[in-house]
Each structure stands twice: as structure tokens, then as C-alpha cells.
Structure 1
Amino acid sequence: MIISTEMAQKIVDHLMGIVNRNVNIMDCNGMIIASGQADRINTFHKGGKLAVDENRVVEIYPDEIDSYAGALPGVMWPIDLTERVVGVVGVTGNPQDVRPMANLIKTVTELILEREMFLADYGSENRIKEQLVTLLFADNRDIAADDINNLAEMVNYTFNTPRMVIVIKLEPKINDSAFVTLQNLLSDRIRECVLKAVKEATFFTAKDMVLFYKKDLCILKSAPDGFDARKFNAFMSGVIDILKSVQPPLKIKVGIGGWALKDLQLQQSYREALFALGYASSNTVCSIYEFDILLNYLFDNKCTSYDSCLALQELGHKFDEVRDRYDMHKVLECLLTNNLNISLTASRLFIHRNTLKFRLEKLKKIVGLEPCHSFHHAMLCKFLLCCDERATKLRLLMAKEFNKKQG
């Protein structure tokens, strides 16, 4: 790491306000790049150069200054970062008086530089992830295929892994003046803490991705071995616990999209997560899989096929399990036509009332829908019927085209 003159001077100004001594920072060539004495900046300091070359503390007493060009009495201490000397910090004064102070200043300087280096690394990583996610969420990805592959390689993103997009909005709990003055609601420090804490948590895997995207915390949660509700709930609980521990306290709103089995579906999952987020209040989690939210999404987006919503696709797969075995398409069609009247529907289907109730219990158990007990569920059944009819017509058309080619 090369210490910039701007950063070095900020450190000097900060430390001098604490120790009331002149502080110098020198580069690896012994040139003073920051100082409380402006006339010494850009001058050579032999003691600083010796501290770098020999990687040791150099102490200069008043009777020795003639032997050290550009020096005043003081202590020069090498600055070590990642096992390398990146410069020298010096404190002016008799070494016997300033030695403990110089040691403290050297430690503080290293901590400040380590934090800046960490912020730079995290900032760079987040920008790369942001570019990658922007392309993954784009409408037309074909033109950027090479860019996607290059960016994915840089952040170890693995393709063809089922993922769910989770969007988390973080806002200050109180109208803190410190937040008002910031362009973004979160300072870099808080973003750094959030990213570091989530990424280092035991529940976070190598195939998960976390970043700040369009001011919100965005997580691409992987499920390489299939969705496990218990593990996912534990993951979300862990994330929320971490976010609640961040200082200053934050309001947390969470929106969860559908499972994207392919990378091309991530755009849909993100849209669904944003839609669900719109229903979240402070410290609540809302998911596209909640039937009332899903129904509103289907209406708002004028969805007419399974492909238009990931959560609807999953509902459709579950519906397939009961459709043929229990003649469920016909059952629901008749039930809706007869205003959800069990007796009338059973009569029109020429089946016993208990048989109908048994089939509806299977619908509840496998698909999760109870059309006779919830308006939202009844409307979702209508969506399933419309999508099922469309899918059936498409399958018949594809079979017809296939037979033509074979014939």
C-alpha cells in the first residue's frame, strides 16, 4: 500500500490534536509527505530512510541531529502493513520523553491505514459485484456475456446455481442529524460493518453473494442442494440478528423474491423481492410466497403464464401433483363456477360431497390453497387454471409440430 499525501496529512492532523507534539509521516524513500510543520513537507529525512532500510526504530537525540540530514530530535518508527514497511511515522522531541507516545502513534497510524485499506478492498469488491448484478438483472444479457463471465470470475460467482434474491432496506431508527447530512442513508462505516459481518457469518456460504445495490443490501442466497425451509429460516434469522446489532440502530425491512433455478431468472427474483419489500413495515420480512402479496403481484404485472412469476411457477409444479390424480382442474373449475358451494359442486361433478372435500384437503396439503376459506386462495386457483390451460395448449401445439417433423 502506498500512503497518499492527503491521507498522511489527515492522520497527522488527527494525531497532533491528541498528543500536542509535531508528527511527521515519511515515505519509503525518507521523504516527509505530511507534517505539522508545513516547511518540512517534501524534504528528505535521513532518520526516516534509515528506519525503512533497516526496519527498526531510530531515535535521534539533540546532540545527534548533525548526523541526520533534515532531522530534529525525535523517534522514527516503521509503519508495518501486511508484513511490509510502507513508511515511517516520527514524533518530534527528546526520545526519552516521546518514546511511549511514538509507539502509540505508530499503532494508531497502522490501525487507520488498515481500515482504509480494508474499506478500499471492500469498496472495490462491492463495485465489481454491483456491475455483475446489474448485468445479471438486465433485460438483454446476450450482448454482455463476456463482461458477465469476466466479472463473475473476479468475485468467484458460480453460474447455474439456484438462487433467491433478498432485498433489505436499512434506515435509521431516529432522525439523527448525522444521517441527514449524508447523501446516502448509511455511512461507509456502517456498510463496511454490515458486509463484513454477513459475509463472515457461519451461515454464509461461498456461493452466496452480498452487496449494496442501489442503496439497499442485496443478498443472492444460493440453494445448490435444493431449498430447505428450516435452513433458509435459520439463515434469515441470522442475517436479521446481525443487522439488529449494528450501531446506530436501524429499521430493517426485508423483501424476498422467488427461487431462480437459472441465472436468467434472477431478474424476475429481484423484481419480486422489490415488490414484496413494498409491503414490509419496520423489522418485518415479506415474501413473494405470501399468497396475498403473490396475488397482488400477479394482478399488477398482468401475469398470464407460469413463466411470468417464479412463485407462480412453483405453485404450478405443486398443482401438477394433484391435477391428474384428483381431476383437480375440473374440480376447481366447477367449484369457482358454482361460487365455492361444496354441495352444488359435488352434485354437478356427480361425486359424493365427502369425495370433494377429500380432494380439496389434498389441494390444501400439497399446494397450500383453501379456495373455500380465502378469497385470495380462490383467486390464485383461478390463475392456476388459466395458466394450466395455456400450458396445456402450448404442449399440444409443440407435440403437433414434433409429429409433423417426424412424419
Structure 2
Amino acid sequence: MIITTDIARPIVDQIMKAIDYNITIMNHKGIVVASTNAKQIDKPHLGALKALELKSKSITEPINSELTDFTEIEVNVPIEVNNEIVGVVGITGNSDCIDKFIHMIKITVETLLEQQVMIEQLRFKRTALEEWVQNIIDTDYHNIPILESKAEYFNIDITISCCVFAIEIKDFNQAVFDFETLHQNEARIIKMLRMYFPYSFFATFLGKDRFIIGLPEKNKKDMERFVEVGREINRQLEQEGLTSYIGIGSASEGILGYRSSYLEALQSIDILKQVRSKDKVAHINEWGILRLLAQIPSDFRCLYLDQFSKRMPALSSELEETLVVYLENELNIKETAVILHIHRNTLIYRLDKIKELWGLDPRSFHDAVKLQVINLIKELK
């Protein structure tokens, strides 16, 4: 660890609130980096050099002061962090009581520096984790063995199936230009995600309004729970005035599996934006054939729908509803009649009417597939 002025100055300021003595902190080369005497900054300190050479306490005495009626001495002691001497702290004052303060100050400085080291280590690990996640989702990054080895450093077992959440928050931080506020907003969302999913593999901000979180998935119940929690996150963001879409990929193992899950989560968000639905949270497995249709360019979808519409008369709203419910219930006449609150014969009459108007029989599997495709294309914007 290298002690800099940025690190040492707050420590000196904090100690000075407790004791009224001249405090000086030197780096590993004996150069003053922080002091109550500003004139000493960036200059070599003889007492510190001696303490570094001895690797123990160095006392300089006496210092005759014209401003006091007692003798002052200067005591310098090495600062140790993780059993390594990283600098020196010195105190100047009344020789009668200075010695009892120096050990307290040494412990205080070392404790504060150790805390700083921990903060820096956590910051480094967080930055490294963010870079690792960015490389996972980057389809142009192909050094998979490197990502696998880094997973061990982060204590992430990539043999465990992971389900990836992608959270897109519309216009996130768009009107914020202060870096500190930007960081605080990002950290607040990450904290919220970790609160909902404390056992996540990773949670980070990807930029461009998007957050990502990786969750170990053990069974189907986990998937259902993830969707419900996703809806709760969406509601909380709405309460904060934020519009969000949450896509969930299927659980997969390994680096490429995690990448695939992320791409599925993005695809789910893309479909959510296209369908005429109020729901803003969806697992990729919910979409069925709609997932395939959504990948067809909208121009081609519209062309297909227009060609069909020009040849066929429009259905009444009653027949439209009947067809949708019938197809959603997998051509089950009994279930459809119950949901629509109509008699079985009434349902059969309506299905016959659809066949008469469109030339497609909803009770025929092949015709039902065509009708389902038409309905799904209508769902997409």
C-alpha cells in the first residue's frame, strides 16, 4: 500500500478532532504526505527516515519552543498494514504526555488505513466483477477459459445453472449530469436487487438503462418465484416513477450458458415491448411460438397480415374473442364454453361461422395453427 495525501489528510483531520498536537504522516520513503503544518508537505522528514531505518520508534528531543514554557519532543513510529511497514506517523508535543498518545495514534492510523485497504480491495473486486460480466454478455468475446478462471476468483460455481435477469429502466439517469448522483442512483438499484436476491451470483449496471443479475436456479418453482419477485421489483420501480421491463432467461450452466440466458432475457424484453399487454415482466419460456414470430421483421409480418386481411372479411368482436379463447385453451370445446359462459352448441355454431367466413376450420389442427399465427402477429406491434 502507498500512502498518499488523499488518503492521509482525512486521517490527520480526524485525529486532530480528538487531540491538540501536531500530527504528521509520512509515506514509505519518509516524505510528508499530511501534516498540521502545511509547510512540511512533500518534504523529506528526518525523524521518519530514522524510524524507517530502525523499523521502530524514533525520538527527537528536545525541541525548544518560543511559544511554550515546556519542552516539546517529536516521536515517530512506523505504520504497519498487513505486517508491512507502509509509512510513519509522528507527533510533536509536551514531553510529559506525548508518549502515551503515540501508541494510540499509531493504532488509530493503522486501523483507518486497513479500512481503506479493505475498501480499495472491495472496489477493485467490484470493478473486476463488472468487467467479467461485461465480457460474458459480449458475443464478440471468445476467451472463455479466462472467464472460467476468473469465476473461481469471484467464488462463482459456473457448473450451477444460472438464470439471468435483465432489467431495463426507461431513461434511467438521463437527466442527471452529476457523477456522484449517477453513481448513487446506480448503487441504489443494485442494493434493491440484492435485497430481493441476496444469494445472486452477480448484480451490476451495464449502462444504457440496463441492469443484470444472475441467479442460481434449482427447479421450476424457482423460475415461478423469480417471475413473481420480478413483478414486485417492477411495482417498486413504478412507485419511484421509473418505467421498467424485466426479461428472464432460462437457466443454463457455464459461461456460454450464462450468455445465452442473458440474450434470452433481452429477447423477452423485446417481445414485451412489442405485444399489446400491460405486463412488463416475462420469462422467455412464456412466449412459445411468439418468440419465433418476434424475430421476423415487422415489415414481413405486416405484409403477411395485410394479404390475409384483404382476402377475408373481418370477424365480429364476439367471434374474435371466441377464437382467441378457443386457441388459448388448446382447442378444448368444454373449457372454452365454460370460460365464455356459453352453451357448447353456441360455441360450435361460432366456430362453424368462423370456418364459413375465413375458410379455416378452428377444429382442424393445421387450420388452427394458421389461425394462431395470425392472432399472434396481431398481438405484436
What TM-score do the two structures reach when normalised by structure 1?
Answer: 0.52
Q: Give the superposition deviation at 1:89.
A: 1.7
Q: Which of 259, 283, 291 in structure 1 is aligned with 2:249?
A: 259
Gaps of 5+ in 1: 65-71, 244-249, 278-284, 310-333, 362-380, 390-407
Residue identity in the other structure for 2:79:
I
Residue matched to 1:23: 23
1:113 and 2:106 aligned: no
Question: 2:171 and 2:17 mapped to 1: Cα distance?
Answer: 33
CA contact (8 A) 1:304 1:387 kept: no
1:81 is aligned to 81
RMSD across aligned positions (CA): 5.9
- SS of 2:164's equivalent? strand
Q: Structure 2: any 5+ residue segments left out of the alignment?
A: 65-71, 252-256, 274-278, 297-314, 342-367, 377-381
> Secondary structure at the residue paired with 1:43?
coil
Structure index of larger Rg: 2
Corresponding residue of 1:372: none
Residue 38 of structure 1 is matched in structure 2 by 39
Structure 1 counterpart of 2:206: 213
Aligned to 1:386: 373
Distance in 2, Cα, partners of 1:52 & 1:2: 18
Q: CA deviation at 1:170?
A: 12
Aligned residues: 306
Counterparts in 2 of 1:168-317, with a 5 A limit? 181-182=178-179, 184-187=181-184, 191=187, 204-205=198-199, 208-214=201-207, 218-228=212-222, 232=226, 255-261=245-251, 262-263=257-258, 264-270=260-266, 272=268, 287-289=281-283, 305=292
Question: Deviations for 1:38-87, whole angstroms, at most 9, x for unmatched residues?
Answer: 346432434664378555x65555379xxxxxxx7234344343344422
Q: Distance in 2 between matches of 1:236 and 1:340?
A: 30
* Displacement after TM superposition at 1:305 (Å): 0.8
SS of 1:113's equivalent in the other structure is helix
Structure 2 CA distance for partners of 1:39 and 1:233, relative to 1, 3 Å: same
How far apart are 1:288 and its partner, in Å? 2.5
Q: TM-score, normalised by structure 2?
A: 0.55
Q: 1:350/1:233 Cα in 2 relative to 1: closer, same or farther (>3 Å)?
A: closer
8 Å Cα contact 2:249-2:284 kept in structure 1: no
Alpha-carbon distance in structure 1 between the residues aligned to 2:29 and 2:41: 15
- Is the CA contact 2:162–2:214 (under 8 Å) kept in the aligned structure 1? no
> Is 1:155 paired with 2:148?
no
Task: Provide closer, same or farther for how the CA distance between residues 303 and 226 of structure 1 changes in structure 2, counting only shifts above 3 A.
Answer: closer
Q: Name the CA distance, whole Å, in 2 between partners of 1:87 and 1:286.
A: 56
Aligned runs of 1:29-68 on 2, under 5 Å?
Answer: 29-35=29-35, 36-39=37-40, 41-46=42-47, 49-50=50-51, 53-54=54-55, 60-62=60-62
- Residue equivalent to 2:320: 339
Displacement, 1:209? Answer: 0.9
Structure 1 pair 274/41, CA: closer, same or farther in 2 (3 Å)?
Answer: farther
